[in-house]
Amino acid sequence: MVAPLRVGLAGLGNVGAAVIRLIETEQLSIVARCGRPIEVVAVSARSRDKDRGVSLKKFRWHDDPLGLARDPDIDVFVELMGGEGDPAKSAIEAALAAKKSVVTANKALLARHGVALAMLAEKNGVAVNFEAAIAGAIPVVKTLREGLAGNSFARVYGILNGTCNYILTRMEQDDLSFADCLKDAQRLGYAEADPTFDIEGHDTAQKLSILASLAFGTRVDPDAVYVEGISSIAPADLEAADELGYRVKLLGVAVKTPQGIEQRVHPTMVPKDSAIAQVMGVTNAVTIDVDGFSPITLVGPGAGGAATASAVVADIVDIARGHRLPVFGRPAAQLTEAGRAPMQRHEGGYYIRLLAVDKPGTAATIATRLAEQQISLESIVQRHRGGAPSGGSDAKSPAGPVPVILITYATTEDAVRRALDAVKADKVISGEPQLIRIEKNR
């Protein structure tokens, strides 16, 4: 039999422990699939004494992950520590310099240093695999890098953060506020004590920058991503979306435009009949618009020990089989600058919710400002304070501002922003307008 592939594993949290269990329980199947055993032989973590539900007695222990990365008796270094800097970065660099292939689930590190690591891997003739860094158990990296290697892409977009999708699902289904749903997500362990990174879209942005590189051959650059979170979403927006045939999701979208690759993360209205609109709870999904045929949507668990471990072990199996591909699907030197397709040039439909001052001429003023920017309206709905649509001209006007919902035909971000700035200057609305972009099926 071929000699075992020897694995050194740094990071023994839920995912690390799950990787050890999966390799042990599926060893016979793994051997059948890749022709050689895979063995974890050495580990590193911050504490030796923590109960992880797996025995560590048979593994060599390294207090320093750098020492593990340089261990001459391992073939593959698996990094599950997290963080965009050290010790993860220096440990991966050390492993690559020692001509050891690397498997990582570290999206933050790849988003910030992925191109440099790809160059180092190519220089030393080894692999960097990272399926677990994006969407957990969903094989989207393999799909873009291998399964669709002969195709061109128009757009890649998806639900890449389970915390946000859970919150939006609960808000919609149970008519709860954002704050209440966030507390519930924290209680269940879906959201961190400080949830800012998730709910403000930064986690999704890191993953999107990697997907864009795989799809469009760009250098990974999270700073090229326009980012908005979901904290401004109100039950009124979800109710209106439902009535208009949409559902609100936090999407990461990378799309090829005449100005370049547009990368954006924001709350989005998607048609209810789209595949991605059906994805609820903590589940993730990625849709790939492929030139020449209908879109492909991949759906599955995006986080959790078992799901992430599944992706990690699949990456290790590929190395055991002798598969080695360019990290982002093509040689690092051929990756182009991502650039920033200006968000002001984004074109699409918009949902706009305004609190209109209840006085003569308000509607005419709003309509005039939109017309000045050549914005056409698909629909306009005036709602009573309680949320129901207005019954028409005979209905009594409620005291105070009147909620008004506008749906535009395709226009530009710049035009919408200029129109809303003019409406605010006219003092015919109260507070800030709510703006949600609409992402249509193709």
Active site residues per annotation:
207
Q: Is 316 helix (H, G, I), strand (E, B) or coil?
A: helix
Instruction: Please name every residue paired with 411 in a beta bridge, in sequence order, or none if there are none.
Output: 348
* Interatomic CA distance for residues 140 and 313, integer angstroms: 15
Which structure tokens are listed for 243?
């009535």
* CB-CB contact of 103 with 78 (8 Å): yes
Between strands 76-79 and 377-382, the pairing is unpaired
Check residue 205 and report its DSSP letter.
H
Q: Is 310 helix (H, G, I), strand (E, B) or coil?
A: helix
Which structure tokens are listed for 288?
């790939």
Cα of first residue to Cα of last residue in the chain, in angstroms, is 51
* Interatomic CA distance for residues 3 and 31, integer angstroms: 11
Report the half-sphere exposure of 209 (CA within 13 A, side-chain side).
27
* CB-CB contact of 7 with 41 (8 Å): yes
